[in-house]
Amino acid sequence: MPIYHAPIDDMRFILNDVFNASEFWQQMPALEHVDSDTVDMILEAMAKFATTTLLPLNRTGDEEGAQYLGDGKVKTPAGFAEAFHEYAEGGWIGLGGDMEYGGQGMPKMVTMLAEEMVFTTNQSFALYPNLSGGAAMCLLNAGSDEQKQTYLEKIYSGEWSGTMCLTEPHAGTDLGIIKTRAVPNDDGSYALTGTKIFITAGEHDLTQNIIHLVLAKTPNAPAGSKGISLFVVPKFLVNADGSLGERNSLACGSIEHKMGIKASATCVMNFDGAKGWMIGEENTGLASMFIMMNYERLTMGLQGIGGTELAYQNAALYANDRVQGRADHGTQDPNKPSDIPVNYADPIVHHADVRRMLLNAKAVSEASRCFAMYVAKQLDIYKFSSDKAAKKAAADRVALLTPVSKAFLTDRALEATIDCQQVFGGHGYIREWGMEQIVRDTRISQIYEGTNGVQSLDLLGRKVAKNGGAFVETYLAEMRDFAQTMQADHAVKQAILTSTDTLADLTQNVLEQIQHKPDAINGCAVDYLAAFGYVSFAYMFGLMVEAAHGKAGEFYTNKAKLADYFVARMLPRLQGHVAMVKAGTDPIMAFDNGYFSQEA
């Protein structure tokens, strides 16, 4: 079974040294209840729970999987119900929830670290409470007072859970063509009929009730996405006194058999005149649902960090233990005589190529965590600041970086987990070592909550082209200002200045392409997002190097060394993505459609 040691020191470094969390919290009256001692207790408590309760269930949950029992019933793997109840009783589901409804009101800068530890130790388990948090956020921001009173406290407590129901058999990315219908009832509710697929935690045995947030169209709704409304549809109807009433007309028809996250129930949900209530105004459902969707997209970045961290820790342990081949620069064992026998071997961690793979993963893990914390701070500014200008700037920055958080972090995560699997050689392909499960579980993070290709289109089409690159330029200006004032004498300073110029030039290039070729966004988006991500990682390493500057100890000097590695061995990838964007779409679109047919 894989091992895990929560990287508490690195988390504290990111919080306290890089982002000055305590000072930031003191500036926000709504966060007066948050202090470093409280946060330390939260991190230590979650580290213990994740390591002792969730990690042992990761392998067994994968082997047993969620089970469809028939008659609409789903059973989670052994131990999951007990772990979920412990998680709920610990207050973890409502950690960032609104205090008016029983939440603890912790900032995202804190909750993201707790969520990372859950994803690291058990990606399947993490999805159950994660969907509840997203549903609660949607209800809090778009629901009526009655809906908030009815559902939020129960969701935060873990008595009830939540889902989001978007996808249909024929409608994934293009939600404007959904067929689920919501017909008004005489009592102000609606009768929903339709089928949703790929519904995470759509049915299970963890909570008393499951609150589904469902996209549907009312009669005579406008065509396309402008005619979508959002509804809250509970598994069990709720009586006026808050108790559970009769079973609603909805059921799980089956669950999917997946490559990974097998302990997470991915359900086909059938609504047969199920009673639901509209959230927000009619035909504004997509905007309301995107409150939850964007929350989930940011969270998928944390899933990527979790997979990377677990893979790295176990690959590093294996590389130190596995003895194979002699180090090119001589034996590294000081107890061996100089005339050691020819068959003596060193741990593989001494081999440069093994170190390359480990350092790739370590760099991705640390830069991703720093980037996620950067976005979390922007979310907290938007939520808790009273400065309207600061709130607007933070909202714009989050909008720009959300697709990057989801796509770049998970793309790099899968690459890192595969590198770490490779460190094990043949053993990495064998189930007993646990590495193949990490790869399988992490793979989905690139696919759900909007594929990474779609995230790239969102970045380039909506967040860059739509405003003429204004959001990007503001972000680049912040990076340049930071680099120019850095006190640390490090290569990352010049790397930031050079790479920001490169991204600025690339942005103008692609904006010009878009003016002349309608398919330029689709053909260039993935490489543009990758370029954007590498420049952002350079900025994150700059922040970490500056925070470590002048501090004694190996922990801090290693921050500078890892930044050296990133600048020398990973940032050069930027130029490849730049070249591919500038090559345009002609090489892609040169083929006739028939080339891709089976008869070709």
The pLDDT of residue 439 is above 80: yes
pLDDT of residue 549: 98
Delimit the domains of the chain by residue range: 467-600
pLDDT of residue 332: 58
The pLDDT of residue 77 is above 90: yes
pLDDT of residue 338: 45
Would you mind telling me the total number of residues written for the chain in this entry? 600
pLDDT of residue 413: 99
End-to-end CA distance of the chain: 47
Tens-digit pLDDT profile for residues 166-224 = 999 998 888 889 999 999 999 999 999 999 999 999 999 999 999 999 999 999 999 99
Tens-digit pLDDT profile for residues 503-520 = 999 999 999 999 999 889
Tens-digit pLDDT profile for residues 263-309 = 999 999 999 999 999 999 999 998 888 777 777 788 999 999 999 99
Closest residue by Cα to residue 464 from 523, 408, 529: 529
Choose, from 449, 478, 546, 599, the residue flagged as catalytic.
449
Q: Which amino acid is at 440?
A: R
* Alpha helices, DSSP H, located in 122-195: 123-142, 145-157
User: Is 449 one of the annotated active-site residues of the chain?
Assistant: yes
pTM of the model: 0.96
Task: Say how many CA atoms lie within 13 Å of 265 toward its Cβ.
Answer: 27
Those residues whose C-beta lies under 8 Å from the C-beta of residue 502, and which sit 6 or more positions away, are 531, 535, 574, 575, 578
> Using CA atoms in the order 501, 13, 304, 440, what is the torsion angle rounded to 10 degrees?
130
Bridge partners of residue 67, in order along the sequence: 75
Q: How far apart are CA 406 and CA 457, in angstroms?
A: 13
In a 10 Å sphere around its CB, with 0-12 CB exposed, 13-18 middle and 19+ buried, how is residue 299 labelled?
buried
Q: Do 157 and 121 contact (CB within 8 A), yes or no?
A: no
Q: How far apart are CA 126 and CA 123, in angstroms?
A: 5
